[in-house]
Structures are given as structure tokens and as C-alpha cells.
Amino acid sequence: MDVPDLSAVRERFPALARTAPDGRPFAFLDAPGGTQVPEAVIEAIAAYLRTSNANLHGAFETSRETDQVVEEARRAGADLLGADLGEVVFGPNATTLLFHLSRSIAKELRPGDEVVVTRLDHDANVAPWLLAAEEAGARVRWVDLREEDVTLDEGSFEAALGERTRLVAFTLASNAVGTIPPAARLARRAKEVGAVVVCDGVHLAQHRLIDVAELGADVVVCSPYKIFGPHLGMLWARRELLERWRPAKVRPAPEEPPARWETGTQSHEALAGWAAAVEYLADVGRTYGDPAAPGRRAAVAAAWAAIAPYEQALAERFLAGLEALPHVRLFGIGDRRRLAERTPTFALRVGSQHPAETARALAARGIFVWDGNYYALEVMERLGLEASGGAVRIGFCHYSTPEEVDRVLEELGALG
């Protein structure tokens, strides 16, 4: 496997230059909770606020410029997902968008219908459907996970499907342990029983190319602030569903999708930053990859084709290092032959140390990681970790380095 050298991209991220009081650079290994942003994103946000700050659909110049910002952000979202720009909806975050959508889907559920959710998911793709089922008198069917490697139990998934299945929700990658389920296969089976398929793409979108046509789902959500952009949420849904479902919204408001699903005034400066973030990814593809065709979508695909092997090399290095640390317990796929089935996100515990204590000790050494459940509540409860603090989450991404992998391994070793 050819592994490109992506070390130069770090120069584009101002935050990565920050240093601790001891002079060492901070190691930002908190990417699953939100990535740092390149300078181009910061400048795009500032430029919008300096020159074009206005609301939509006015007769004056700055309003027309804001209309263009929103349009370009939709094009960027479509290029990221391989979608039509008329199917891209924005909101404050993925969680809010899913709750918003669930109110409309709940109206189509009937008593006795069934909703399928998994124990591998972030609660943003569980709680909205539990509430929708409760409101409609529908039944909830749970898909279990395999405790030994924290992967989705496909037998349990198959058993959960039936003639009354109306909605199936599952993640494209676990934000807690990094597992990547066989999403296209799961979506195909769910569609065979006539279900609407809702996928949480928030974690996967930071690490792999998403192609909604190949995936075969009906809805995919992601979070630009976890894809090197600003705090923002994005939802893709098939246009016929955006037209059929009825959103809760004020009067008067646009009647055509996707705008009919966007309630209130959006963060236009964040949308400007999001377009710059996707353009950054496209530039990574042009610089380090080999785009198969002209256009930004091909360049974005080339970026992920370069990023994936780089991140897999980081993951392999980390897993190899953990083998020499018997006091560190990993939850998730640890087999280095299965790197394609996971992202470089790792949940672990250090001996009997409370995860919060481990996170504080690493922070004191300039290494930023998360602890707790990260809203993957079902994962932590299923693994028996929730009551005692969850787990430590260490997340690498394409701006991480082999030296940072070695550094965190060294510090984990010192905590033993």
C-alpha cells in the first residue's frame, strides 16, 4: 500500500502550531469530537462577515451575495456526498436536523409499525426514532453488537427486519470505537422490506468518501465541524422524500426543498466556511491524489483516496504499539489485518484508572483526548462501561503524524 506523505497539510491549520508551556506542540487527538480548521476556512468566515453580512433574498448587493454563499455551500455539500444540490439541507448540527426530520417521519408511522435502531450508534440517530415510535405507538427493534470486536451483529440486524419495518437507522462509522459497518449491504436489506433508511455519516465523513448513490440510503447526516469546517450540520435526503414529508416551519416560508426544511436564519458565515472546507479537501486531492475527472467531486474523491491509506498507517502503528502495553485495554477492532473495517478512532482504558483521570493526565502532557460516552450511550452500556466512566477516546485524522502516535503510546505506557 502506497502511503502518501501528508505532513505538509499541517501548515494550513493554525491551531496545530500551538505549544504547551513546556514548549512542546499540543497533540490534537480529539478529532472525533470536532476537527481543527485550515486557514482558508477562517478567512472565508471572516471575509463574509467583513463584506457580505446580510439576510437572504433582498434586493440589495450584500443580500444577493449571501444568496450566492448559500448556493455555493449546497454545491460543496453535494460534491462531498456525490449528491444533487437540491437535496442538501443545512442546520445547526446533525442532532437538531435528525430531531427535526423525525417529527415529520413520525406522522407516517402507525401503531404496530416497527422502527429499527442499533446499539452501535450515537444517540442522535437513536433518540429521535425512539421518540417518534413512542408518539406513533410503533415498536422499537434493537440491533445488537458483537462485544468481542464491537462490530454490528448482522444476524441481529437480519432478525430485526420484518414486514412491519418502516424505518431503519444505523451509523456509517461508530464515533466511539471506529467500527465501519457494511453499510451498502445493510441499506439494501432494509430497502428490500420497504423501510426508510437513515444513516449517521458524521464520523465516517471525516475519514472516507461517502457516495450516497452507491450507499442506497434515503437520508445521510454529517457535521461540517468534524470535516475541517465550522460548527454546522448537514443533511442529505432523496428529493422525493423532502417533497413528500411535511416539515414543521413558520409561515410564510419556502415550499420547495431543500429550503423548506431550513427553519429560521442559517449561519451564513459558517456556510461560507463550509464551502472553503470542501475546497480545501479538493485541493488535498489535487495535490496528493490523482483525480479521475475534472471537477471538485473528483478532486474530493482523490483526497479521500490519499487520506485513507495515510490514516490506516497511523492506525496500524497505534495498534502495534498497544500490543506492548498489556495494561491498556482496547474496545473495538484490534486486528491490524482489518484496518479497512475501522477508522483511526480508538476507545480504551488504562488499567483500573478512571477514563477522566487518564484524559486529565494526558492533557497535562499536552495531548488532547476525550473521555466518557461521547453520546454513544448504547455502546458504553452494552460494554458495561457507562456506570464507571465510559472510555478514553483517541482519534487521529489526516493532519495527525506518526510522531504523535508514538508520543501518545509513550505516555500511555508511562501511565501503567
Asked whether residue 360 falls in the same domain as residue 269, the answer is no
Q: Are residues 52 and 196 in the same domain?
A: yes
361 and 270 share one domain: no
Q: List, as one string, the DSSP characters of 72-140.
A: HHHHHHHHHHT--GGGEEEES-HHHHHHHHHHHHHTT--TT-EEEEETTS-GGGTHHHHHHHHHHTPEE
d(CA 187, CA 199): 9
* 231 and 183 together in one domain: yes
Largest CA-CA distance found in the chain, in angstroms, rounded: 66
Please tell me what DSSP assigns to residue 261.
G
Question: pLDDT at position 2, please?
Answer: 83
Asked whether residue 109 falls in the same domain as residue 245, the answer is: yes
Residue 282 resides in a domain: no
CATH of the domain at 116: 3.40.640.10
Q: Are residues 77 and 220 in the same domain?
A: yes
How many folded domains does the chain comprise? 2
- Decide: residue 155, CB within 10 A, 0-12 exposed, 13-18 middle, 19+ buried: exposed
Q: What pLDDT is stored for residue 108 in this prediction?
A: 95
Q: Are residues 388 and 267 in the same domain?
A: no
Q: Is residue 290 part of a domain?
A: no
In sequence order, the 6+-apart residues with CB closer than 8 A to the CB of 395 are: 29, 30, 31, 32, 33, 343, 344, 345, 346, 369, 370
| CATH number reported for the structural domain that contains residue 353 in this entry | 3.90.1150.10
Q: In whole angstroms, what is the distance from residue 36 CA to residue 16 CA?
A: 8
Distance CA(189)–CA(279), nearest Å, equals 35
Same domain, 133 and 260: yes
> Count of CB atoms within 10 A of residue 212's CB?
22
Residues 200 and 312 in one domain: no
The pLDDT profile of the chain, 416 residues, written as one tens digit per residue, is 689 999 999 999 999 999 988 899 999 999 999 999 999 999 999 999 999 999 999 999 999 999 999 999 999 999 999 999 999 999 999 999 999 999 999 999 999 999 999 999 999 999 999 999 999 999 999 999 999 999 999 999 999 999 999 999 999 999 999 999 999 999 999 999 999 999 999 999 999 999 999 999 999 999 999 999 999 999 999 999 999 999 998 988 788 999 999 999 999 999 999 999 999 999 999 999 999 999 999 999 999 999 999 999 999 999 999 999 999 999 999 999 999 999 999 999 999 999 999 999 999 999 999 999 999 999 999 999 999 999 999 999 999 999 999 999 999 999 97
**352 contact partners, CB below 8 Å, separation of at least 6:** none
The grid coordinates of residue 264 equal 429560521
**What is the SS3 assignment for 198-221?**
EEECCCHHHCCCCCHHHHCCCEEE
Clarify whether residues 239 and 314 are in a common domain: no
pTM above 0.85, yes or no: yes
CA 94 to chain centre: 9
**Spatial contact of 310 and 107, defined as CB atoms under 8 Å apart:** no
DSSP state, residue 176: T
CA separation for the pair 66, 233 (Å, rounded): 18
pLDDT at 253 (0 to 100): 79
Q: Alpha-carbon distance 118 to 151, whole Å?
A: 11
Does residue 99 form part of some domain?
yes
Q: Say yes or no: 149 and 63 in one domain.
A: yes
Q: Which of 213, 210, 191 is nearest to 201 (CA)?
A: 210
Range of the domain at 60: 43-277
Peptide bond between residue 252 and the one before it cis (omega within 30 degrees of 0): yes
- β-partners of residue 221 are 200, 235
Task: Identify any residues that bridge with 350 across adjacent strands, giving them in sequence order.
Answer: 328
Considering the domain boundaries, does residue 291 fall inside one? no
